[in-house]
Amino acid sequence: MEDRFGVKITTRDGWIKLDGAPASIAKARDVFQQSTSRARRGLYIRKTEFNFALESVAKGNGDQAARSPCRAHSNFGQEAPIIPKSLQQKKYVEAVKTTT
């Protein structure tokens, strides 16, 4: 994120400090807020999810991805839950869920 947005990130004792241009700080903050929001909804934030948030914000799609109510769906008879990572994937999972 530091390289992508040109910010300096410092963490200490549970807090995060962002230094850089205001627009860059806003983008980095959006990535953290999106990741935190998804974690509160039960999505485990791995490198893949973090990179998805990073790319969404970088491309200007952060608002749409952040509003996406992604949750794990485990009622498909599979061992691992299905976790949609975007609004389109969520719509697809919901469509499959309602037609089966």
Query: Full-prediction pTM beyond 0.75?
Result: no
Low-confidence ranges of the chain (pLDDT < 50): 65-66, 69
Average pLDDT of the residues of the chain: 80
| Residue-level pLDDT at 28 | 94
Tokens of residue 72, six digits: 């794990």
| Cβ count near 28 (within 10 Å) | 24
| Cβ count near 53 (within 10 Å) | 25
